Structure 1
Amino acid sequence: MMHVRRSPEEIAANRQRYEEHQKKGLEFAPKALPAPSPLPAPAIDAAAIVHQETIPGGWYWSTALKRGEALRIDQGEGGSTVALVAWNSGDTSERLNLVDTVKVQWTTGLGKGRVIFSDMGRVMFSLIEDSSGAHDCLMGGSTAASNAAKYPGVKTRNTRDNLVLVAGKLGLERRDIPAILNLFAPVRVDDDGCFHWRGKLSNSGDYAELRAEMDMIVGFSNCPHPLDPDPVYAPKPVIVTRFRAPAPTVDDLSHSATAEALRGFENNAAMLA
């Protein structure tokens, strides 16, 4: 493979273009997103509930999700990290893309009012409620090797193998598994680029609600995050509720928080046309 050496002048010009684009994006974005959703989580109207599933600690689950429906992921019994992946149900080659989600919104901080993109530049989810704001979209999930090192001599389940099982049951392969979103994982990056677990950012009983902006298949794994400092493997059950979400209002923040989100919804509209 041939590598092209760029001149200092070209590098400087590219950086200047990037910084100008970033400045425009940040100027469009709201100066502050809403406060975290209140705890405890309010009851969901029983008539709106489509299905409710409890995922035991260490296990996995997948579900279909229709556009306009939402998922509430509720820790219920205490702190648990929930790994999430998603595919467009009409074309599973379109999948969750956290790199673009972070890049086009200029932040790794996902909270109420943010959106989650696919690799086709369309919006998959709007984060409509979130009591946490402590989610990890950079590190990935546990593996057999990471669990063996962390919990020596203990038989455990891990996120990578769980998602391989999810994919296989959907007729997909390992290579179809996208990068995962870790909900309720208070990971932060320091000035040296190192990842740290900031447990004080999480609350026992945190919840998040994600509204579907296209028809999807969503997979979950309920296993401890690789940075979770608890030396004991004891993930708590989580409750996932699929329900019919209220229609977005004209001032829905997810539709207007950034110029990139606006374009993403325009791409969704073009797909549905």
Structure 2
Amino acid sequence: MTNPDILYQDTLPGGCHWSLQMRRGQLLRLVDTDGGANLGMLLYNPYALLERINLPDTLKCQHTFRLGKGHCIYSDMGRVFCSIVEDTAGWHDAVCGAASRDLVERRWGRLAYQQARNDMRRNGLDGFLVELAKHGLGRKDLAANLNLFSKVVADDSGALRYVEGASRPGSFVDLRFEMDSLVVMSAAPHPLNPAVEYPARPVRYEIREAPPMVHPDVCCDARPENQRGFANNRLYQLSIGGVR
């Protein structure tokens, strides 16, 4: 039965990549259907592509190492791209970046399209570059990416460790978009994933209308810094006439 709340839905196969534009006031639900997925994500302002996701500022202004419900994802202009308003996975990595072609080949071996067709072993970095090229962007436009559904912890010495099985089948995260955003996604494996076999896990995405914000809001009112980020958004919407 079709869910009338879902405006559009599709599944991104494990290892694959895609991009789409989300509108302010829409909600993007991402579902780890099988468990153990990794969804790398980059965000850009579609009307001013030099504005992009800034994870160092995102973590610093919210005094956190990981992202989850109640956190906002910031641009490098101090504005809020989107807010994590619901989250059953509970921990999303924001420090490890994307796997390269060399890393994937060293860890899991090389399977090219000529050998394996759609089961080729893709990597996150190349996936991002393919999607960015569709929008006139390239390697110089890469930023540190978010890794949804991946949990990475640090020990007392600062060494990072990937936590296997942290995201269970059916885990989901809801991103409420606070400004129009170009969303670039890659379902390639996390760079620290120690799996023996190439871990291709699908992610379903659903576009919905977000419920109106009601204060106190789980994200906007979580910290004074977030309230200032939303104030920056309001000023920006006024500057573009509030039509986008």
| TM-score when normalising by structure 1 | 0.81
Could you tell me how far 1:147 is from its partner in structure 2? 0.5
Could you tell me how far 1:130 is from its partner in structure 2? 0.4
* Residue deviations 1:95-144 (CA, integer Å, cap 9, x gap): 11100000111101211111111000011110011001221100101110
Corresponding position of 2:233: 268
Corresponding position of 1:31: none
Q: Whole-Å Cα distance in 1 between the matches of residues 109 and 16 of structure 2? A: 20
- Give the conservation status (yes or no) of the 8 Å contact 2:36–2:164: no
Which letter maps to 1:97?
A: N
Corresponding position of 1:212: 177
Extract unaligned runs of 5+ from structure 1.
1-42
Corresponding position of 1:89: 46
Q: Does the C-alpha gap of structure 1 residues 153 and 121 become closer, same or farther in structure 2, counting only changes over 3 Å?
A: closer
- Give the conservation status (yes or no) of the 8 Å contact 2:37–2:167: no
More strand per residue? 2
Corresponding position of 2:74: 117
Which letter maps to 1:71?
A: L
Corresponding position of 1:237: 202
Q: Does 1:106 align with 2:71?
A: no
Which letter maps to 2:39?
A: V
Deviates more, 1:156-165 or 1:74-83: 74-83
1:266 partner SS: helix
- Give the conservation status (yes or no) of the 8 Å contact 1:79–1:205: no
Which letter maps to 2:40?
A: A
- Give the conservation status (yes or no) of the 8 Å contact 1:72–1:210: yes
Corresponding position of 2:118: none
Match of 2:103 among 122, 146, 155: 146
Could you tell me how far 1:200 is from its partner in structure 2? 4.9
More helix per residue? 1
Could you tell me how far 1:163 is from its partner in structure 2? 0.3
Q: Whole-Å Cα distance in 2 between the matches of residues 202 and 59 of structure 1? A: 19
Which letter maps to 1:172?
A: L
Q: Whole-Å Cα distance in 1 between the matches of residues 135 and 5 of structure 2? A: 26
Q: Does the C-alpha gap of structure 1 residues 121 and 222 become closer, same or farther in structure 2, counting only changes over 3 Å?
A: same
Q: Does 1:254 align with 2:219?
A: yes
- Give the conservation status (yes or no) of the 8 Å contact 1:105–1:260: yes
Match of 1:134 among 91, 103, 107: 91
Corresponding position of 1:167: 132
- Give the conservation status (yes or no) of the 8 Å contact 2:7–2:208: yes
Equivalent pairs counted in the alignment come to 230
Superposition map of 1:37-52 within 5 A: 46-52=3-9
Could you tell me how far 1:46 is from its partner in structure 2? 2.9
Corresponding position of 1:180: 145
- Give the conservation status (yes or no) of the 8 Å contact 2:34–2:168: no
Which letter maps to 1:67?
A: R
Q: State the identity %.
A: 37
Q: Does the C-alpha gap of structure 1 residues 53 and 76 become closer, same or farther in structure 2, counting only changes over 3 Å?
A: same
- Give the conservation status (yes or no) of the 8 Å contact 1:109–1:133: no
